[in-house]
Amino acid sequence: MTGNGNGPHAPNERAEESLPAQQSGDPGEVIDVRRGMFGSRNGGDTSGYGGLVRTVRLPGATPRPYGGWFDEVADEFEGALEEQGLDPAHVIERTVVDRGELTFHIAREHLATAARTLRDDPALRFELCTGVSGVHYPGDKGRELHAVYHLRSITHNRLIRMEVSAPDADPHVPSIVDIYPTNDWHERETYDFFGLIFDGHPALTRIIMPDDWQGFPQRKDYPLGGIPVEYKGAQIPAPDQRRSYT
Partner 1 sequence: MSSTTHAPAGIRETTEGTVYDVTGGDWDELAAHAAKSDDERIIVNMGPQHPSTHGVLRLILEIDGETVTEARCGIGYLHTGIEKNLEYRTWTQGTTFVTRMDYLTPFFNETAYCLAVERLLGIENEVPDRANVIRVLLMELNRLSSHLVAIATGGMELGATTVMIFGFRDRELILDLYELITGLRMNHAYIRPGGLSQDIPPGTVDALREFLKKMHKNLPEYDALATGNPVFKARLKDIGYLDLAGCMALGATGPILRSAGLPHDLRKAQPYCGYETYDFDVPTVDTCDSYGRFLVRLEEMRQSLRIIEQCVDRLEPGPVMVADKKIAWPAQLALGPDGLGNSLDHIKNIMGTSMEALIHHFKLVTEGFRVPPGETYAAVESPKGELGVHAVSDGGTRPYRVHFRDPSFTNLQSMAAMCEGGMVADVIVAVASIDPVMGGVDR
Rule CB under 8 A: which residues touch partner 1? Answer: 31-32, 54, 56-59, 98-101, 103, 127-131, 133-136, 148, 150, 152, 154, 157, 159, 161, 180-186, 189, 193, 206-210, 217-218, 224, 239-240, 242, 244-246
We find the least distance from the C-beta atom of residue 109 to partner 1, in angstroms, to be 23
Considering beta carbons, is residue 86 or 125 the nearer one to partner 1? 125
Considering beta carbons, is residue 90 or 220 the nearer one to partner 1? 220
Contacts of residue 57, defined as CB under 8 A and 6 or more positions apart, other chains included, come to 27, 28, 29, 30, 31
We find the least distance from the C-beta atom of residue 82 to partner 1, in angstroms, to be 27
Q: How far is CA 132 from the centre of its chain?
A: 11
Nearest to 75 by CA among 65, 61, 86: 65
C-alpha–C-alpha distance, residues 174 and 196, integer Å: 10
We find the least distance from the C-beta atom of residue 240 to partner 1, in angstroms, to be 5
Considering beta carbons, is residue 81 or 96 the nearer one to partner 1? 96
Contacts of residue 85, defined as CB under 8 A and 6 or more positions apart, other chains included, come to none
Considering beta carbons, is residue 107 or 128 the nearer one to partner 1? 128
Polymer length of the chain: 246
Considering beta carbons, is residue 54 or 143 the nearer one to partner 1? 54
C-alpha–C-alpha distance, residues 165 and 238, integer Å: 32
C-alpha–C-alpha distance, residues 42 and 51, integer Å: 13
We find the least distance from the C-beta atom of residue 55 to partner 1, in angstroms, to be 10
